[in-house]
Structure 1
Amino acid sequence: MARRQPKLPSVPLPVWQELLVAANAFRTAQPWTWLDDADIFAVIDDDGRPWFPSVLGSAGLVFGLALHRGESGLRFLAETVPALEDSPRDAAFLQDALLLEWGAKQDLAPEDLSVLAALGHRPRSRERHAWPSFRSHSPGWFPWHFDEAEARAFTAGTRALLACAELARGQPDFFASCALDGAVLPTVTMAATRQGPLQAAQIEWRRWLLPPLPSPPAPTVPPTWRALAERAKNSQCVLEFDIFHAMIPSSDGGRPYFPRLGLMVDGKTGYIYTMELASPDRAWADLVTIVWEKALTALRDRPAVIVIRRPEWVMALQPLADRLDIRLELADELPFIDEARDSMERHLGG
């Protein structure tokens, strides 16, 4: 049976036209010649939602604009990007942004070329970085085509960014306050950027503080776990547990996604007791419960310790561990989990 092709979002051609006009204005302005990707503004849309634009191109490799969404977008910029050298493979699953890249025609999907043809986009022959690609990045989901709301948001965000960039252009020390305090960002409403040339007095230098990552909802302890809790405890048995995204794009007929993979392995031998895949729509607590139950059922005895590495999970997992009288430990490294993940990614070509 042939696999169903995911249905693309429907965006009216006039909305695409406005988006292309804004993207062309961005390319013509070339703000990457005086801004780099660390020069971040905060722009507030008409509904009060913050966006954090980042200009790409100062390194001469990728030319475009990333419009990071809300708290998750700011967290990606503040916490994930600085740690890219330590965990580069996780970054792709965490980005929450609308992205424009100007590149080569051969890099575009047929659907992109069809829209651009309908808009009459015809760059000069051999013109470099002349073909725009628009993609929506959401945590856990495969980069996908804009829907109408995203296209409108990106159009507005691009125009706002250009107004901000022009203001910063004439002030070499514009971002000096940000260098002193990384949480301080030049903040402006999109409405202000539409009133004519942006003025310095319209900028608010606001501190954007990120709250700690919240603990996910705690799983419900199933009644069937009573039998597991009554098993003899093996004081030598230590398990490693983690959930991460697998580099295996999947689709159930809708937007493709990167499935989450729940893994429970022996902390001394690396033996894999459970490996469970889940879509982004599946509740984290449900995935935890099924992974723990399958692993503990496969064991003859109760483990003494389960090791995790995500501090924000402790509060949610502690009731499960307490119910089974298993000690929960935090560690910076899960060597056998990482070994299993490396092996799977090599096998799958990730």
Structure 2
Amino acid sequence: MPAEKLFDIALQYKKTKLWKRLSDTALFAFRLSNGEIGYCSVMGDLGEHIALALYFGRDGLDSYRRIYKAQDSLSELHMHEIMFSQDCVQCSFENKEELSPLEIEEAQRYAKAHGIAYRGRKAFPQFKRYRPARYPWFLRDETDEQFLYEALSAALEVAERLGTTGKSKLGFSDGAPYRRKVP
């Protein structure tokens, strides 16, 4: 079961609506507690898949870039193959019917304990682990939970800084993610 603090920070992140200020290709990087660099993709500018994904190290960044580089030029089958090569953890916001019974139970337990209700479209937080050649699965590893917590914390800081500083001053630029630097 995801730690309560992960639900806390996920709901704080959702309030920032960072995906309305950054495009899916606007990555940012930060140093994880283990010293590795984490690369974050803020998804949701089209309103379809609202999420924050954390890719681990250079290999993770390369897998992210492969996905975006291939999006417009591959068959659907090949795109699925590339998607199954990801190595990341992700916090997304889903409709209730898109969650498993266990995820619904966990989210409702959290809501009851905190006196909140999930309202509207894409209201429920979902935490997933993506590993190469494996089906995406529930986030159950404490280390993965900690890293996702760190990514969501970094995203809160990015959202705060965007409120006082322009995107370009923070190092964000437009264009394909495989042709530019990551701030």
Matched, 1:44 2:39: no
Matching residue of 1:156: 150
Partner of residue 136, structure 2: 143
Q: 1:177 to 1:63 in 2, by over 3 A?
A: closer
Q: Aligned with 2:15: secondary structure?
A: helix
Gaps of 5+ in 1: 1-10, 187-350
Deviation at 1:166, TM superposition (A): 2.5
* Cα distance per residue 1:26-76 (max 9 Å; x no partner): 101110111111111111112211111111111111111111122221001
Asked whether the equivalents of residues 98 and 154 of structure 1 are also in contact (C-alpha less than 8 Å), the reply is yes
Q: Give the drift of 1:183.
A: 4.4
Q: So what's the TM-score if we normalise by structure 2?
A: 0.84
Q: Which residue of 2 aligns with 1:106?
A: 97
Match of 1:130?
Answer: 123
2:176 is aligned with 1:184: no
| Structural mapping, 1:132-281, within 5 Å | 132-146=125-139, 147-169=141-163, 170-174=165-169, 175=171, 182-186=179-183
- 1:76-106 per-residue CA deviation (whole Å, 9 max, x = no partner) reads 1222321123231222211111111111111
Corresponding residue of 1:64:
51
Greater relative contact order, per chain length (Cα 8 Å cut-off, separation 6+): 2
Matched, 1:16 2:3: yes
Q: Distance in 2 between matches of 1:29 and 1:71?
A: 28
CA distance 1:172–1:45, shift in 2 (3 Å): closer
- Which whole-Å CA distance do the structure 2 matches of 1:133 and 1:179 have between them? 29
Equivalent residue pairs, number: 172
The equivalent residue for 1:25 is: 12
Which moved further from structure 2: 80-89 or 26-35? 80-89
More helix by share: 2
Identical-pair percentage: 24
Q: Distance in 2 between matches of 1:183 and 1:64?
A: 22
What is the alpha-carbon distance in structure 2 between the residues aligned to residue 151 and residue 168 of structure 1? 26
Distance 1:103 1:93 in 2: 20
Q: Does 1:92 align with 2:87?
A: no
TM-score, L = length of structure 1: 0.46
Structure 2 residue 114 is the aligned partner of structure 1 residue 117: no
| Paired residues of 1:39 and 1:54 also in contact (CA < 8 A) | yes
Deviations 1:283-337 (CA, angstroms, capped at 9, x unpaired): xxxxxxxxxxxxxxxxxxxxxxxxxxxxxxxxxxxxxxxxxxxxxxxxxxxxxxx
C-alpha distance in 2, partners of 1:37/1:90?
20
Is contact 1:52-1:68 (8 Å) kept? yes
CA distance in 1, matches of 2:7, 2:172: 33
Asked whether the equivalents of residues 123 and 130 of structure 1 are also in contact (C-alpha less than 8 Å), the reply is no
Taking a change above 3 Å as real, the CA distance of residues 150 and 176 of structure 1, as seen in their structure-2 partners, is: closer
